[in-house]
């Protein structure tokens, strides 16, 4: 069986999520960097295999999978020994809801193509773009903090990592890059601290990845 291939960008939040999941599942994979700064995602070669032109994309078991949460769901079913999404319906909905709040409500407003459009096409200053970034993180995290608090333990849900923590850690990494104040989110910070103690999270960190020249 061929080794899975992850098409990614080292600082992409979505790719960061998938790396964490692959490490948690113990899946050995090959990383292929798609340099978003240079527009490699729009190359004819990459568009031929991924018409969306986004990262990550995972080639595994003869499939080409896109969208980080869909990939993580596949990995959770494919390698069920260490579940990342609860089986009980209400618990599953809770964890998926927290994940989507980050991955669909906060992150898309702040990804690279949005920020570039704000600056290049709409003519906003870098200061205005950075303010936009901080606003949407600060708008979303308070609700995630309240939601997580209800059933949290060492992690956002209970005492083991789930897909919610996989979404949280890259988002807080980005928040710090833009100097977002995080003191009001003790539940999220506790989950992040415990997650970052795990080898899988540490190995997936952007600082540990190959950076395109």
What is the value of pTM for the model shown?
A: 0.96
pLDDT of 78: 97
Beta bridge partners of 59: 5, 64
Q: How far apart are CA 13 and CA 150, in angstroms?
A: 26
pLDDT along the chain (213 residues), means of 10: 93 97 98 94 96 97 98 98 96 98 96 94 96 96 97 98 98 96 98 98 95 78
Q: How far apart are CA 48 and CA 45, in angstroms?
A: 5
pLDDT of 87: 96
pLDDT of 25: 98
Nearest Cα to 166, choosing from 78, 63, 96, 91? 96
* CA 202 to the chain's CA centroid: 14
pLDDT of 191: 98
pLDDT of 13: 97
User: Strands across the sheet with 5-8, in order?
Assistant: 30-33, 5-8, 57-60, 63-66
pLDDT of 101: 98
3-class state of residue 90 by DSSP: helix
Which domains, and CATH codes, for the chain? Answer: 5-82 (3.40.30.10), 89-200 (1.20.1050.10)
pLDDT of 177: 94
């Amino acid at each position: 069986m061929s080794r899975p291939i992850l098409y990614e960008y080292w600082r992409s939040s979505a790719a960061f999520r998938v790396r964490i999941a692959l490490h948690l599942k113990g899946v050995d994979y090959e990383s292929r960097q798609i340099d978003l700064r240079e527009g490699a995602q729009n190359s004819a070669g990459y568009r031929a295999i991924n018409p969306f032109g986004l990262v990550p994309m995972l080639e595994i078991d003869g499939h080409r999978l896109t969208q980080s949460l869909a990939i993580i769901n596949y990995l959770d079913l494919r390698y069920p020994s260490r579940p990342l999404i609860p089986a009980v319906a209400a618990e599953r909905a809770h964890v998926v809801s927290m994940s989507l709040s980050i991955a669909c409500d906060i992150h898309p407003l702040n990804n690279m193509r949005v920020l570039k459009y704000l600056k290049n096409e709409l003519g906003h200053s870098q200061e205005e773009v950075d303010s936009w970034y901080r606003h949407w993180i600060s708008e979303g995290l308070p609700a995630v903090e309240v939601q997580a608090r209800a059933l949290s333990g060492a992690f956002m849900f209970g005492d083991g990592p789930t897909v919610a923590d996989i979404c949280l850690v890259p988002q807080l990494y980005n928040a710090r890059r833009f100097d977002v104040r995080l003191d009001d989110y003790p539940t999220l910070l506790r989950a992040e601290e415990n997650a970052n103690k795990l080898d899988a999270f540490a190995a997936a960190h952007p600082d540990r990845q190959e950076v395109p020249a």
